Chain A
């Protein structure tokens, strides 16, 4: 694949080209002490010189000495909330003069281009695609949003302390699933093209070919990010042994710490569970059926015919780990964990999924 070079000050040109093609451009910004994805007005809004310090139960932004825009690794979101909305109306029922009418609801959808997604985000997207778009009951609004998506990925030049994508085989560099992919250097970006859509944009940028020296820097950055990762998720075969550990004492130990708050499943870019509620207007004339993010840590998630099946926190944590790490393999052909580390950083009580998985599968003493 030929690599091209885009000088740093021309990043705005990329944004302008995407906009000219009709895309709303979404990128990383600093908001409320975290990196979040929002509509970008221009390139100056990017988080230049910002990195995150993450640890179990902790996420803090800090100023770095460099002035790079993509030196952070992840924020709490990823792509998930944009494609699988936390709250979405599915259909409405209304009393009208012609009787009761049911109507399917469809969110307003416009083409979006995301800048700054990582290899783990793309791996998670592939899994969400399997669930929402490629299964026997596809979600039409997900499919529609997915089809018009343009992805500018960025390879990670460093790893946060919670990252472990190397051990899951999902990062730190993106190999496919993008339209364009950047390696950020001090003076600009190496660009790889991953699709025809991406080529069309690249053609408009008037790119020069990247020198061997620049490519060597990108390779060294990749190696550094690989070496920085300390956590290692056990391999998939080992993870399958979890299904034989339903009575392990460790589930009880975890339950003493776990709040069953659902923060881990909410930030997890691959979790897809939802519940539905019907919201009536005050007069009882119209009712809206709403789909909301749910979690296997919630009581109602296992409420079936008048009974909560998983009442204990130990059972709920076990459900999350067994589904995510083992049973996903039967369901989707691979583990549901892409190594992004979000569930570790955003767990309010600092429970570390990798540590727990290793303790359960390998007998590691944390």
Chain B
């Protein structure tokens, strides 16, 4: 069977998801029996316009150039898969969508006129057809390898939207929400990390985005009952996947209840 030709494109992102390829260790040699990587700047391969079977897109669209490169990648590739929080929902940098972007630019950069950005940071699916999404901040090696393996078998992976709590319990972690009143997003977050944070006694931050049937409304109320202020609850839902509709709704709901906001801000 011919190898899969793969291009790995990076738009606006921290490059952390691409490490799922580089951090494989010796296993990378096995993976390379299945795929030919033709474009991968982080790995020193530069051929952005090559035709490929699979384009993996890391990063969100935040500049006119991002948009152009995404469109090229889409037309040069049979399958397109977005990898990581930035590509799937806009990422941490999408927090700016909810702020006055111009004011921030002026406050931070000496010459803001050199910064050429679009109004919002948006996910890949807002601009191009996406065949599959790998959620996570960052994605795991297992997610990536499973994608490649399933493609080699001639199918796409199962889109596992199960809640993190199920994996947390399978690993027999003690629930930090129940013992420590920690504001854990596990009950509304997709599985994939193996319940990493609860294993270290920490509440889940929601790196893998919303699960199936995420009852954010009830969870937010529970956080309030545990003593969090509305602004803290809003931040909890906003941090990594602020633009995913389920978390975004909770962000706006709790932000509007923040007593520190003036009446004018609330509008």
A and B bound? yes
Say yes or no: is A59 at the interface (Cβ < 8 Å to chain B): yes
In the bound complex, CA of A361 to CA of B185 (Å): 33
Residue of B nearest to A262 (CB): B166
Residue of A nearest to B216 (CB): A259
Complex interface bits, B204-236 against A, C-beta within 8 A gives 1, otherwise 0: 000000001101011101100000000000000
Asked whether B175 lies within 8 Å of A76 as measured between CB atoms, the reply is yes
In the bound complex, CA of A280 to CA of B31 (Å): 13
Say yes or no: is B41 at the interface (Cβ < 8 Å to chain A): no
Option from B33, B174, B217 in Cβ contact (under 8 Å) with A76 = B174
Say yes or no: is B129 at the interface (Cβ < 8 Å to chain A): no
In the complex with contacts A260-B213, A280-B149, A298-B166, A81-B172 CB distance below 8 A: yes
Asked whether A348 lies within 8 Å of B169 as measured between CB atoms, the reply is no
Which of B163, B188, B201 has the most A CB atoms < 10 Å from its CB? B163
In the bound complex, CA of A280 to CA of B163 (Å): 22
In the bound complex, CA of A282 to CA of B218 (Å): 40
Residue of A nearest to B199 (CB): A32
5 closest residue pairs by CB, A with B? A266-B169, A86-B170, A261-B187, A259-B187, A33-B179
How many positions in chain B have a CB within 8 Å of any CB in the partner chain? 41
Asked whether B169 lies within 8 Å of A293 as measured between CB atoms, the reply is yes
Contacting residues, chain B, for A277 (C-beta < 8 A):
158
Can you give 21 contacting A-B residue pairs, CB < 8 Å? A32-B173, A32-B174, A33-B174, A33-B180, A58-B181, A59-B179, A86-B170, A256-B217, A256-B218, A257-B218, A259-B188, A259-B215, A261-B163, A263-B187, A293-B166, A294-B166, A311-B213, A345-B178, A348-B175, A349-B218, A350-B222
In the complex with contacts A32-B179, A313-B213, A348-B187, A262-B169 CB distance below 8 A: yes
Shortest A220–chain B CB gap in Å is 32
Asked whether B178 lies within 8 Å of A346 as measured between CB atoms, the reply is yes
In the complex with contacts A76-B174, A259-B215, A349-B222, A282-B166 CB distance below 8 A: no
Asked whether B174 lies within 8 Å of A349 as measured between CB atoms, the reply is no
Interface residues on A, range: 35 or more
In the complex with contacts A33-B179, A81-B172, A267-B169, A349-B145 CB distance below 8 A: no
Say yes or no: is A299 at the interface (Cβ < 8 Å to chain B): yes
Contacting residues, chain A, for B177 (C-beta < 8 A):
57, 348
Contacting residues, chain A, for B33 (C-beta < 8 A):
283
In the complex with contacts A282-B27, A348-B222, A59-B178 CB distance below 8 A: yes
A-B contacts besides A32-B179, A259-B188, A266-B169, 14 pairs, CB < 8 Å: A32-B173, A34-B174, A259-B163, A262-B166, A263-B187, A266-B166, A267-B169, A277-B158, A282-B31, A282-B149, A284-B152, A292-B170, A298-B212, A346-B175
Asked whether A299 lies within 8 Å of B161 as measured between CB atoms, the reply is yes
Say yes or no: is A31 at the interface (Cβ < 8 Å to chain B): yes
SS class, residues of chain B in contact with chain A = helix
Shortest A74–chain B CB gap in Å is 13
Asked whether A299 lies within 8 Å of B218 as measured between CB atoms, the reply is no
Asked whether A258 lies within 8 Å of B215 as measured between CB atoms, the reply is yes
Interface, chain B (partner A; CB < 8 A): 27, 30-31, 33-34, 145-146, 149, 152-153, 158, 161-163, 165-166, 169-175, 177-181, 184, 186-188, 201, 212-213, 215, 217-219, 221-222
Residue of A nearest to B166 (CB): A262
Asked whether A349 lies within 8 Å of B219 as measured between CB atoms, the reply is yes
In the complex with contacts A282-B27, A293-B169, A260-B215 CB distance below 8 A: yes
In the bound complex, CA of A292 to CA of B175 (Å): 19
Contacting residues, chain A, for B153 (C-beta < 8 A):
280, 284
Say yes or no: is A168 at the interface (Cβ < 8 Å to chain B): no
Say yes or no: is A87 at the interface (Cβ < 8 Å to chain B): yes
Residue of A nearest to B27 (CB): A282
Asked whether B170 lies within 8 Å of A293 as measured between CB atoms, the reply is yes
Contacting residues, chain B, for A270 (C-beta < 8 A):
none
Contacting residues, chain B, for A262 (C-beta < 8 A):
163, 165-166, 169
Which of B201, B215, B219 has the most A CB atoms < 10 Å from its CB? B215
Residue of B nearest to A85 (CB): B170
Residue of B nearest to A349 (CB): B222
Asked whether B171 lies within 8 Å of A259 as measured between CB atoms, the reply is no
Say yes or no: is A167 at the interface (Cβ < 8 Å to chain B): no
Contacting residues, chain B, for A350 (C-beta < 8 A):
222
